[in-house]
A and B are shown apart, each in its own frame.
Chain A
Amino acid sequence: MENMANKVARIPNLVDWSTGEVRLMSAKCNSCGTYFFPKEHYQHRPGCSREGVEEVLLPKKGKLASYTIQHYPCPPPFKTEKKITPYGIGLVEFTDENIQVAGIITDTDLKSLKIGMEMETTTLPMYTNEEKQEVVTWAFRAVQ
């Protein structure tokens, strides 16, 4: 279990660590079977009754479906205290949920990235806010 104390997501309702594992906050429509992320941005199959949408956490682990390496700093409003460039962005597939989610790749040798490799969800510290909390975003890293 990671140190989850005094940590806050920069934008709420996207990443959860209350269970002790870092997982993405998705939603699923029980009528058409569509999973979507973020959970506030509804997606349905045409003709769906749109009944029975429930919030679900995606599994911690998925597989890398694609990636890129960003070589210049992302402009504001993105901000990190430490320089993270160059950084990886991965598209991680959660196969049973039929969804791929994009996120920054952290704690991973970027040269080792390979489509199909196993990745896990984690958080990336961005900066410390005025309340001295560590502000984070969701991220992915290679499973050791």
Chain B
Amino acid sequence: MRDVYIVGTGIHPWTGFSEQVFADFAAVAVEGALKDAGVEWQKIQAIMAGIFIYGGNAGHLSGQYLESIFGETGVPVVNVYNACATGSAAIRMAFNSVAAGETDTALAFGADVSPKGFLTAKSDNAVQDRDVIRWKMGGMPNPIYWALECRKRMEKYDTTEEDLALVKVLMSEYGSKNPDARFKKPYSLEEVMNSVYVCDPLRLFEICPVSTGAAAVIITADPELIKKADKPVKINATTMGSAIYGDPTIRISALSCPATPEAPMLSESYSASRQAYEKSGIGPEDIDVLELPDNSSWHYLVYLETCGFCKEGEADKMLRDGETKIGGKLPVNPSGGFSSHGEALSAQAIWQVIECANQLRGRGGERQVEGAKVAMAQTYGLMGNSGTTIMSI
């Protein structure tokens, strides 16, 4: 395996529902990544595409649609889906292709258009697809799952409603300074605490909505491209994890979970992060900046524990003590997180990596983490999907 670098990144800023097609958003992000890297399209030797699940044939073959826009070159195009960790899968495949020497330069991208209306079941076959059961009989939209886990946490530890609100206060402050974020209004603790409950104990401002967005990275081991890049970012490890038997977390779309744990909570993310630590030789204590998946305020807290940044039940204290602020011991989500962006399913893992790369390249603007040398992006996808990417400069 050889050293692999990110040399170009591109984002289409996050936004709400759009009549535009996903490929238009993807093209903006890919164009940006090519320009940033100073790479010609013909240099791309593989395309790893996150699929757009609401896009029908076009969405399921998003890589082919994208390739057609820039000009078909006959390179391998792989279209991948791992729920909200889809972007992690695309990056991991691009990394592995380049690291193994199969290709010198590869593109990973994801683009998603927020579906109009609500997310819901995608089939009508309850025997095959238990998502059908939770929607038809369970009355359980996604945040219900997070609320059930959040309540367990509040019973077990001293997590308060104020802690949950404080996460949003912090995220909205950073989001207000991020030109690519969708939500740019800073909120006070009082405003968050006064927002309506969606599913008690989680309030409206404490869960992230669905968004439109696109992100792309160019990954290379080509010495020429590395040399001409503006501060190339080394990928120390990029891994994926799936769930481990006995994980007590109730996963989105499931209707049951084990009563007695035999594995860590969010075991898919435990697995992905531990693989990344092992492969990179970098541990949580070495990370200067962290992007974690704050789908809800509960996620923000639990992910600090799942990924080993503190012991179980200690994340609330880290938050209250300001350790997770920019300038603190472990700055978390200087991007403003999912809270300020919303989920753009196949793109979000890639923008998390881009935010980390931007921090390492000193492009953080008003939310720059001073002296950041090592960064980690952590994703979470439903039904046991997760990815971790550790980068350094």
A-side interface residues toward B, CB under 8 Å? 9-11, 13-14, 36-38, 40-41, 43-46, 65-72, 74-78, 84, 87, 89, 91, 93-95, 97-104, 115, 126, 137-138
Instruction: Report B-chain residues with C-beta under 8 Å of the C-beta of A95.
Output: 259
Partner of A94, one of B201, B245, B259: B259
| A69 near B199: Cβ-Cβ < 8 Å | yes
Instruction: Report B-chain residues with C-beta under 8 Å of the C-beta of A94.
Output: 259
| A89 near B139: Cβ-Cβ < 8 Å | yes
| B198 near A102: Cβ-Cβ < 8 Å | no
Given that A71-B198, A71-B200, A115-B151 are contacting pairs, would A98 and B258 also be in contact in the complex, using a CB cutoff of 8 Å? yes
Q: Is B256 an interface residue (CB 8 A)?
A: yes
| A100 near B258: Cβ-Cβ < 8 Å | yes
| B148 near A98: Cβ-Cβ < 8 Å | no
Chain A residue at smallest Cβ distance from B120: A75
Instruction: Report B-chain residues with C-beta under 8 Å of the C-beta of A89.
Output: 138-140, 144, 147-148, 199
| B120 near A77: Cβ-Cβ < 8 Å | yes
| B148 near A91: Cβ-Cβ < 8 Å | yes
Bound complex: CA A5 to CA B101 (Å): 68
Interface size counted on chain B using CB atoms at 8 A: 42
Partner of A11, one of B117, B126, B202, B250: B126
Which 7 A-B residue pairings sit nearest by Cβ, starting from the closest? A68-B147, A75-B118, A137-B137, A69-B200, A74-B139, A37-B256, A68-B199
Q: Is B152 an interface residue (CB 8 A)?
A: yes
Given that A68-B200, A71-B198 are contacting pairs, would A102 and B140 also be in contact in the complex, using a CB cutoff of 8 Å? yes
Q: Is B54 an interface residue (CB 8 A)?
A: no
Not counting A38-B255, A71-B199, a sample of 7 additional A-B residue pairs whose C-beta atoms are within 8 angstroms of each other reads: A68-B147, A70-B144, A78-B136, A91-B257, A102-B250, A102-B255, A103-B138
Bound complex: CA A72 to CA B144 (Å): 11
| B255 near A101: Cβ-Cβ < 8 Å | yes
| B256 near A100: Cβ-Cβ < 8 Å | yes
